[in-house]
Structures are given as structure tokens and as C-alpha cells.
Chains A and B, each alone.
Chain A
Amino acid sequence: QKEVEQDPGPLSVPEGAIVSLNCTYSNSAFQYFMWYRQYSRKGPELLMYTYSSGNKEDGRFTAQVDKSSKYISLFIRDSQPSDSATYLCAMSANSGYSTLTFGKGTMLLVSP
């Protein structure tokens, strides 16, 4: 079983739709959960960060973590064509020096 499972998509939605992206994981030691966005031919950039369980909102983006189910989600409201990218979930057991364990990434396509 992979440590982090993420559906690669692609996920195609019309502009304005609510997008739900998610990952499941198996390592109960993970405490820090991140969502990275990666545009084509670019490096991943941090979008959202959550520690332990709970929700975090930043503009149109909401990250949710359910540690009891080992399930994390990213919601995008009012999706825009500029949101078209690959979204990678990543997690680590400790902050600072800890390495990241990534999901495969979900490709999102938002059509005008």
C-alpha cells in the first residue's frame, strides 16, 4: 500500500464550479498536511498548510484534515481557468527538518 494515495485525474470542471480534491494516507505519524499547486514546467508551490486535524480557509481555498479517517481534502470555490494545474498533496511527520511525502497529484482543468 502506498503511503499517500491521490487520484491523478484529470478532473475537468466548468468555470465557477466547486472543486473537491482529496488524498488518503496510511502513515498515522503524519502531522503536517500541505497542498501544492504545480503549473506545467514549473516547480510545486505551497498553496495551503494544515497542522493536525481541522479546517483552514484562505480565500477561495479550504483545506480539511480528518486524521481519524486518514483523509485530507482541498476545496476550491468559484474555480477559474487560472486554477488549471496539477494539485499535489504532501505530508510530513515533523516540521522543520522533515521530508515531504507526496501524492501523485491530480490534474485539474477548468474550462471557461
Chain B
Amino acid sequence: EAGVTQFPSHSVIEKGQTVTLRCDPISGHDNLYWYRRVMGKEIKFLLHFVKESKQDESGMPNNRFLAERTGGTYSTLKVQPAELEDSGVYFCASSQWTGPGYEQYFGPGTRLTVT
């Protein structure tokens, strides 16, 4: 079974440009999470989808970030316009609701560099 995949693996853009990150969760996983790790900091939660609905978007830094999950399958995270402080590694994770002992499976991340 394929794991969580993310595309692209690395993106370099200039300040002010737009970038769209994609995440394909494990098939059948209703829960999809986005996290971000800024250099020197811990991994931080951005938002959580249950199927196509946003369950929690309290971690989204500002309205330059837009996440979608059409049809409850893959998800995209768009940054528009990108700023220097948006640089970091963006992780996607998915899980299936199983109660205690659930596991979030992480993708390899997209490394975003804004110059």
C-alpha cells in the first residue's frame, strides 16, 4: 500500500509568487493534516480535514494560506503571495479514526524556499 505522497519535493520561488503544494493521503484515510517546520523550530500544526471539511484550521498563519480538499481525497495548500518567512518544510499526514492508538502517517514533506 502506498504511503502519503507529497509533490513537489522541493520548490524555490521568489517573494510575491504563488506556490501550490499537493498531498495524496493513504487511500481510505478520512483525516488529513498539514504541518510546517520552519528552520530551527518544531513541527507545527496548520490544519486538519475530515473528508472534505475543515475540522480545525487554527494553525493557519494568515489568509495568504489556502487549503482545499475537494472530494475528500487529495489536498492542496496554496501560498499566495509567498513571503520569506513562509520558507520551511511542509508535511502532510493522514490517519483513519481508530480511537486510542491511532497513528498519523507522514509524507516526506515539501521543502519550500522563498527568496
CB distance A49 to B59 under 8 Å? no
Knowing A42-B108, A43-B4 are in contact, say whether A95-B102 is a contact too (CB < 8 A). Answer: yes
CB distance A97 to B59 under 8 Å? no
| B99 close to A (CB within 8 Å) | yes
Min CB–CB distance A11 → chain B (angstroms): 17
CB distance B99 to A46 under 8 Å? no
CB distance A105 to B108 under 8 Å? no
Interface size of B by CB at 8 A reads: 29
Find chain B residues with CB under 8 A from A2 CB: 42
Find chain B residues with CB under 8 A from A41 CB: 108
CB distance A97 to B107 under 8 Å? no
| A87 close to B (CB within 8 Å) | no
Measured CA separation A72–B98 after assembly (Å): 24
Which residues of B pack against A, CB within 8 Å? 4, 31, 33, 35, 41-45, 48, 50, 55-56, 59, 91, 93, 97-109
Which residues of A pack against B, CB within 8 Å? 2, 4, 6, 32, 36, 41-46, 49, 51, 88, 95-97, 99-105
